[in-house]
Structure 1
Amino acid sequence: MTRYAEERGVDAATVLRGTGLSARRVADPGAQLEARQELAVIRNLVASFEDRHVLGLEIGRRYRASTFGVFGFACVSSPTLRDAIAFALRYFDLSFAFCIPTVEVADEELVLSLHDERVPPDVREVLVDRDLAAIHTVIGDLLGTALPLRALALRTEAPGRAARYREVFGVTPGFGAPANTATFDRVYLDRPLPQANEHTMAICQAQCRELVTRKRARSGTAQEVRSRLARPGGLGMGIDEIARELGMSQRTLRRRLDEEGTGYRALLDEVREALAEEMLGTGALSVSDVAIRLGYAESTSFVYAFKRWKGVTPAAYQRGFGR
């Protein structure tokens, strides 16, 4: 994003204002940016350009599989597009996307939805455009050819910019739709990828697992809470019980977690997600069994939560993304 700004005459210092980041740090491929820092960069970009309505598309088109480092290389080296998408959904935490993706595979097509409800309203349109354009471009990289879309739908109202979307995606989007969706023919799912390499994929996937583990690692009060939730029977502990064990009031516990950028519900979600992956991965438990063990009163609530975490249902996750 800083390179894009500089090419258009805006220096890196302006784009990075208020982020606490230096140009040297963002140029480091191994540097990890916090969500708040990236949002600040996006807002600085929006403030710097008058044509903010094409900003997301312009930035998204610049993304390539290599932009995502080892995560991208794992996708590139996957056997098929289906495998790459399944992997990307599983390790979504390693992507740059703010919108949460979910996937539905029908008889003849795949529908990718980008959920933007949690994206700040002032940058929502930019980030939806960026994420959609980036996904479309990267899938083209994986296939070795542009991916033709059957349809594109956007929640935003922007009929005056239809031509720009058509230039990027090859179709005219429907505006004012109930959801942001991109639809393409499912025949592309099982086409062998030109750079598929089993050995490379295994190495990259192992590195991605390590990165996710490291990213989920907590310290301080958050780690104390997480460790209690993760122990046998811990999912039944409420915040009041955990606060008593830690020798503090609920109010103090909430404040400390907030200072560390998290909260009780977020940590409970983290633990449930990790345990769900582990239990579903064994293949020994049904979806309803896993839901019960995770403390859900109904399987439907677990299915909804899992789809929010991973972009697919628990059953599809067990099957290997609808294979």
Structure 2
Amino acid sequence: MRRMKPTVYAPSLTPVWKLLRECGYDPDPLFREMHIDPESLRDERARISLSRIEQMWKWIDQHSDNRCIGLGVVEHWHPTAAGALGYAWLASSTLRTSLERLVRYQRMISEGVTGSIHEKAGEVSLVVAFHLETEEEIPVWVDAILALIVHLCRINYGEELPLTSVSFRHREPDCASRFYGYFRCPLEFGADDNRISFPAAILDQPLEGSHPTLARLHDQVIVDYLAGLKQGSLVEKVKNAIIERLPSGGVTDATIAHALYMHERTLQRNLRQEGTTFKSILNEVREELAIRYLQDETLSLGEISFLLGFTEISSFSRAFKRWTGVPPSDYRAGR
């Protein structure tokens, strides 16, 4: 089974789109050049290949004269950019639970960025790591992620949030004063890792926006969403989804895309990249199941037709003859 390529939650690019527009760039042709469908940014089920996101940030890093452009992402962030995780974060009871929730469910937003929590000597640190194809971090992307995390913490805790320090692996930019102005704490550039450090004492203080019930509800939405991102071949995932839904009828590429938390066109495009189509997979699943069911003498042709999602026996018979060259009744009799 082939491992699926890492992906990113499409709506999370909305702040980047708005930032580019604010900076005088037209994001539409840029996104299309990177093979990112602008419409997918409004589709909560759409995901985009991590490699395309990497290309986009590389373009921004190479073409922008503003080395602090990544910090501007926070001005355009909205909870919907992180889906259920954004709202679960806002409803968290403490900053510690906020950070733990982010680390636990970050794969919903990106399968190329991970976080880990480290605690010692009265200090708690969130270490952010990037797992890219080129294994080379993109400074403006790192800046955007760390700035956004601090922004989220300030939303929950307040603008007076005290930070112990923030570290960056990349070298100090020529606009470092803006970094100090935004983070308002000691900074280290050229560090061993990308890290945000907090005084441990503040992490367990109750937050005014705490709503445990809402947080748990959003957590369940996240868990259900992540269940659709299990590693494995897209073809196998489509097959499994088809098998589960065939008896109820109405199996289409649209319904399966919805079940897999994908946009219909995204599913079609990704299947083409795998060298197949939804119709081919549907026919293959039906043929395999039909042969299996016909070997069971307790199942009538009518029952088999129903299990395969056909409304009439005649439709099933025509399809089976097209697949195998013989009607299902002849196949069963000659088996």
Shorter-normalised TM range: 0.5 to 0.7
Shift of 1:9: 1.9
**4+ residue stretches of structure 1 with deviation over 4 A?**
220-223
| Contact kept in structure 1, 2:54 and 2:132, CA below 8 Å | no
**Deviations along 1:180-228, whole A, 9 cap, x unmatched?**
22211112211112221122112111100001111115335776xxxxx
- The match for 1:242 is none
> Using the alignment, how far apart are the partners of 1:119 and 1:188 within structure 2?
37
- The match for 2:97 is 83
- The match for 1:43 is 58
**Mapping of 1:1-323 within 5 angstroms?**
1-51=16-66, 53-60=67-74, 62-96=76-110, 98-116=112-130, 118=132, 120=134, 124-158=138-172, 160-216=174-230, 218-219=232-233
The structure with more radius of gyration: 2
Shift of 1:77: 1.2
Please give the root-mean-square deviation of Cα atoms over the aligned residues, in Å.
2.8
Residues 61 and 147 of structure 1: CA distance in aligned 2, closer, same or farther (over 3 Å): farther
Q: How many residues align?
A: 226
| Contact kept in structure 2, 1:165 and 1:172, CA below 8 Å | no
The DSSP-based 3-state class of the residue aligned with 1:17 is helix
What percent of counterpart residues are identical?
20
Shift of 1:149: 1.2
| Contact kept in structure 2, 1:63 and 1:138, CA below 8 Å | no
> Using the alignment, how far apart are the partners of 1:87 and 1:199 within structure 2?
15
Shift of 1:58: 1.9
- The match for 2:270 is none
The DSSP-based 3-state class of the residue aligned with 2:138 is helix
**Deviations along 1:231-267, whole A, 9 cap, x unmatched?**
xxxxxxxxxxxxxxxxxxxxxxxxxxxx86xxxxxxx
> Using the alignment, how far apart are the partners of 1:99 and 1:21 within structure 2?
19
User: Which 5+ residue runs of structure 1 have no aligned equivalent?
Assistant: 224-258, 261-323
Q: Give the letter for the 1:33 counterpart.
A: I
| Contact kept in structure 1, 2:73 and 2:144, CA below 8 Å | yes
> Using the alignment, how far apart are the partners of 1:32 and 1:18 within structure 2?
17
| Contact kept in structure 2, 1:76 and 1:142, CA below 8 Å | yes
Shift of 1:57: 1.8
> Using the alignment, how far apart are the partners of 1:146 and 1:118 within structure 2?
34
Residues 129 and 24 of structure 1: CA distance in aligned 2, closer, same or farther (over 3 Å): same
**What TM-score do you get using the length of structure 2 for normalisation?**
0.60
Q: Give the letter for the 2:158 counterpart.
A: G
Q: Give the letter for the 2:18 counterpart.
A: R
> Using the alignment, how far apart are the partners of 2:114 and 2:231 within structure 1?
21
**What TM-score do you get using the length of structure 1 for normalisation?**
0.62
Shift of 1:138: 0.7
